[in-house]
Structure 1
Amino acid sequence: MLNRRIFMTATTAAAIFACLSAPVFAQDKPFDGVQLSVLMEGHPTTDAIQKLLPEFKTVTGIDVALEVVPEQDITAKMLLELSSKSGRYDVVQNNIIYVPGFVKNGYIVPLDEQLAKYPQFFDKADFVPGYFNTNVVDGKVYGLPVYGESTFLMYRKDLFEQYGLTEPKTFDDVEKAAKTISEKTNKEIAGITMRGRQGIEGVYVWAAYLWGMGGSFLDENGKSNLATPEGTKALDDFARVLKSYGPVGVANFGWEENRLLFQQGKAAMTLDATVNGAYNEDPAASSVVGKVGYVPVPVQTQSPKGGSSSLAVHSLYVTADSQNAEAAALFAAWATAKEQQLKSMASDPNSGVTSLTALNGESFGKRYGAFKEAMITAINQGNPQYLPTIEQANEVINNTGIAVSKVLAGTATAADALKEADQANNAAIGR
């Protein structure tokens, strides 16, 4: 039976649609002539929002200059502007792991007062609770989730059947299957592909190995805890399976390179974001439609400290230096409203919607039914500390990413690389 715990607060899509009406403002186009500068990361959600911006201007009068950059570049770009108080951006998007630091440093502002003015767009009850609540600090709402995801393991059912393999449940199973398929196909099909690029992209996937082996980023005292037997094994195993059975150049693979290789039928497995299922099942872009199995991220130990699947939430925030805070909050509410999320699924492969209406709607089930149940299970089991949600998250992830890259490149052992990462992380945490 479909696990629907996170959807229990949703009313039926039909009932909500019956109540939808055009937004009404006290005056026509209340922000006519206002220009907003918005920074977002490349993603199907962003693509869909960009296509809908003319509608936003028609309703509000607001011009939006949308700048789109890759995920691996957005945090450094944001921090440069926010720390210098340049006022360049009114709205920014990022992973919720950075919220504690953003709030402590006064980079973003609470939205409660502004959101209360726009009930036609802002409906707290319609958000997946686990997504929305990650943006609440000391009882105040600092951001609105524009997309969310977890992680799962995707594998080629046809290849597994052909070579007598069963769906993987442990990382040992993953390596065995990767080795079998790589060897049986003379490496024409990679046994597995995953992100290996230095920075948050590689760390995001390697973290599944870390947690699944029983490790963690931090110990009970909040200190970096990577150079443990569990952490070392996690990095050794991750690097070995990629170097032995992964595609050429995998150390430089980000989300897009990884997704495309699997979509093109050139890899037997991948461990990545649940949003990738939308691409796998898109007949216009994928050669593996209907051939993919979706299962939970493996767990090697019987008693992991936390879940090995992520709970990743990317939200929109209004910057403290915005000169148009009310218009910026209105944009954030509009961009995350159920109406826009429903439209986004029609225009782009966006299974990362955060609206309960969209998730429970007929359109989502029809388009993404092949992996919906596995996705919901992954979200429900998602680990909110999958990446460290602390003020120094950016430094911890960067230092960890260097360690992962060194081992993939063969320039350091896992034990030595993680020891260096611990030292750098603890120096950052102690400042």
Structure 2
Amino acid sequence: MLSRRKRIGVAGVAVLMTAVTGCAGWGGGVGGGGADSINVLMVNNPQMVDLQKLTADNFTKQTGIKVNFTVLPENDVRDKISQEFSSQAGQYDVASVSNFEIPIYARSKWIAPLSDYIAKDPSFDQSDILKPMTLSMTGTDGKIYGEPFYGESSFLMYRKDILAAKGITMPAKPTWQEVADIAAKVDHAQPGMRGICLRGQPGWGQLFAPLTTVVNTFGGTWFTKDWQPQVNSPAFTEATKFYVDLVRAHGEAGAPQAGFTECLNNTIQSNVAMWYDATSAAGSLEAPNSPVKGKMGYAPAPVMKTDSSGWLYAWAWGIQQASTKKDNAWKFISWASGKDYENLVGQKVGWSNVPAGKRASTYQNPEYLKSAAAFAEPTRSAIEHADPNNPGTQPRPAPGIQFVDIPEFPDLGTQVSQDVSSAIAGKTSVDDALKQGQKLAGDVAERYRSRQAKK
């Protein structure tokens, strides 16, 4: 997840933001803290940069509420948000959090419930928020704890012209075996072109974002409902071997180091004929200056034993429980995640920059659809079919599709991914990688079983 949501050119933005955030004013630290101000801590993704530029002349002008932004790169902002919310320091009123953190923070009572504000603000129109997004930000108490700013699922992107030249028709709902067969047929269709790009770069949000969806649809899971580790189970092993074998046989050059950005570049440069990854990538593929604009087709995430397989991710807004300015914080969230804000971005920045993937109405907006015609409906469908509570073939102990929503998963997933990436590089076997992964998962599972036994 680290970089898959960023558009082309974000590296330059990150450099700029890193420099700017050291200065007071545009992005520099918490400001005055008066009664009519709030402090917002957020990631420096391009959509947030647009938001920051639009806030003073629109939100502040309308409400009189000044917003003091602190903007940081993703890894840095995650660390700072974790420290801020866990300590309940109250320095920041609002933070950009994802559907990974929100349920964890809700259980710890670090984040404020929003349900009462939603009920009193009918213009926000919670029913317009795509159901899986609402579900992923709802606590076990039934209350909503976050509102999405933009979201994504995953799907299969492919070169229509390359498949057509080979006489291949992409199935409306492809299976992974069908995708593997197509990858073999289009491999080397053009000089230097490989059949498919799949992430091989270590990381819980890199390699294991797509791979865990493959595990799910093959019938596997990280843990059973009663916290039994399943990392070296037959289904998990079959899925991982399939993934590793596919990328080794027909995948991109340098696969063990390839993450979202590398696969995006490979697709744009016609180095691969297919790519399974985030729906948010389509905006870059269909950008006006993209060499593959108009050449791409979009199919649902491949399946095996499940009806759907796309992941679910969102950058969202949450209010720190310790905030003393929750009313003003909600006003900001209602504006930033509202329908009018999307129209504002379309008019002031450009419709291709709209923070989409969260509202049904976005996919009925003719102006947005003009710029996103190729991928809007596949994206909406992928998100609406994502089920964070039931992503596989058996009950789970925690929600999450491409992750397990527990604090220990980033470390667990990253450690196991390092060995799987080594298997892609041919330095170890999948069996050995997952045998070690099972031990690590067993340590995590034991802690949860012990906690349950004490209740």
CA contact (8 A) 1:399 1:425 kept: no
Structure 2 residue corresponding to 1:274, chosen from 279, 298, 301: 279
Distance in 2 between residues matched to 1:130 and 1:344, nearest whole Å: 24
Paired letter, 2:358: T
Paired letter, 2:247: L
Structure 2 residue corresponding to 1:410, chosen from 409, 426, 440: 426
Distance in 1 between residues matched to 2:181 and 2:135, nearest whole Å: 39
Q: Does 1:64 align with 2:72?
A: no
TM-aligned CA deviation for residue 264 of structure 1: 3.3
Change (3 A) 1:242 1:344: farther
The corresponding residue for 2:143 is: 140
CA contact (8 A) 2:152 2:279 kept: yes
The corresponding residue for 2:208 is: 203
Change (3 A) 1:430 1:324: farther
1:289-336 deviations in Å (ceiling 9; x for gaps)? 22111111222x3x34x7321233332111234353333222222110
CA contact (8 A) 2:132 2:386 kept: no
Change (3 A) 1:327 1:409: farther
CA contact (8 A) 1:154 1:293 kept: yes
Segment drifting more, 249-258 vs 144-153? 249-258
CA contact (8 A) 1:50 1:66 kept: no
CA contact (8 A) 1:98 1:394 kept: no
TM-aligned CA deviation for residue 160 of structure 1: 0.9
The corresponding residue for 2:444 is: 428
1:91-143 deviations in Å (ceiling 9; x for gaps)? 222331333321222321112344556555x3212212221232222122211
Structure 1 residue corresponding to 2:359, chosen from 355, 363, 372: 355
TM-aligned CA deviation for residue 170 of structure 1: 2.7
The corresponding residue for 2:48 is: 46
Paired letter, 1:98: E
Q: Does 1:93 align with 2:96?
A: yes
The corresponding residue for 2:196 is: 192
TM-aligned CA deviation for residue 152 of structure 1: 0.9
* Partner secondary structure for residue 183 of structure 1: coil
Paired letter, 2:279: T
CA contact (8 A) 1:157 1:291 kept: yes
Paired letter, 1:228: S
Change (3 A) 1:422 1:103: farther
Q: Which stretches in structure 1 are left out of the alignment for 5+ residues?
A: 1-29
Distance in 2 between residues matched to 1:307 and 1:198, nearest whole Å: 25
The corresponding residue for 2:15 is: none
1:249-298 deviations in Å (ceiling 9; x for gaps)? 33333333322332333321111112222222222x31112211111122
The corresponding residue for 1:397 is: 413
* Partner secondary structure for residue 201 of structure 1: coil
Distance in 2 between residues matched to 1:278 and 1:86, nearest whole Å: 38
Distance in 2 between residues matched to 1:225 and 1:340, nearest whole Å: 44
Paired letter, 1:180: K
Distance in 2 between residues matched to 1:236 and 1:280, nearest whole Å: 29
Change (3 A) 1:119 1:195: same
Paired letter, 2:423: V
Change (3 A) 1:108 1:402: farther
The corresponding residue for 2:167 is: 164
Distance in 2 between residues matched to 1:419 and 1:237, nearest whole Å: 17
The corresponding residue for 2:243 is: 238
The corresponding residue for 1:22 is: none
Segment drifting more, 241-250 vs 227-236? 241-250
1:131-174 deviations in Å (ceiling 9; x for gaps)? 12322221222111112222110100101112233326232333
CA contact (8 A) 2:298 2:378 kept: yes
Segment drifting more, 75-84 vs 123-132? 75-84
Change (3 A) 1:32 1:108: closer
Change (3 A) 1:116 1:380: closer
- Counting aligned pairs with the same residue, the percent is 26
Change (3 A) 1:233 1:290: same
Paired letter, 2:37: V
Matches for 1:7-406 after TM superposition, within 5 Å: 34-40=37-43, 42=45, 44-54=46-56, 55-60=58-63, 61-70=65-74, 74-115=77-118, 118-120=121-123, 122-137=124-139, 138-167=141-170, 169-186=174-191, 188-199=192-203, 200-283=205-288, 285-299=289-303, 301=304, 303-304=305-306, 307-345=308-346, 347=350, 348-350=352-354, 352-384=356-388, 385-392=400-407, 393-406=409-422
Change (3 A) 1:351 1:62: closer
CA contact (8 A) 1:74 1:94 kept: no
TM-aligned CA deviation for residue 53 of structure 1: 1.9
More relative contact order in 1 or in 2 (CA 8 Å, sep 6+)? 1
CA contact (8 A) 1:279 1:349 kept: no
Paired letter, 2:402: L
Distance in 1 between residues matched to 2:299 and 2:78, nearest whole Å: 31
Distance in 2 between residues matched to 1:181 and 1:74, nearest whole Å: 41
CA contact (8 A) 1:275 1:351 kept: no
Paired letter, 2:326: A
TM-aligned CA deviation for residue 62 of structure 1: 1.2
CA contact (8 A) 1:204 1:387 kept: yes
Change (3 A) 1:141 1:31: farther
TM-aligned CA deviation for residue 340 of structure 1: 0.9
* Partner secondary structure for residue 410 of structure 1: coil
- TM-score of the pair, normalised by structure 1: 0.81
CA contact (8 A) 1:126 1:356 kept: yes
* Partner secondary structure for residue 374 of structure 2: helix
Alpha-carbon RMSD: 2.8
TM-aligned CA deviation for residue 429 of structure 1: 3.7
Size of the aligned set, in residue pairs, is 394
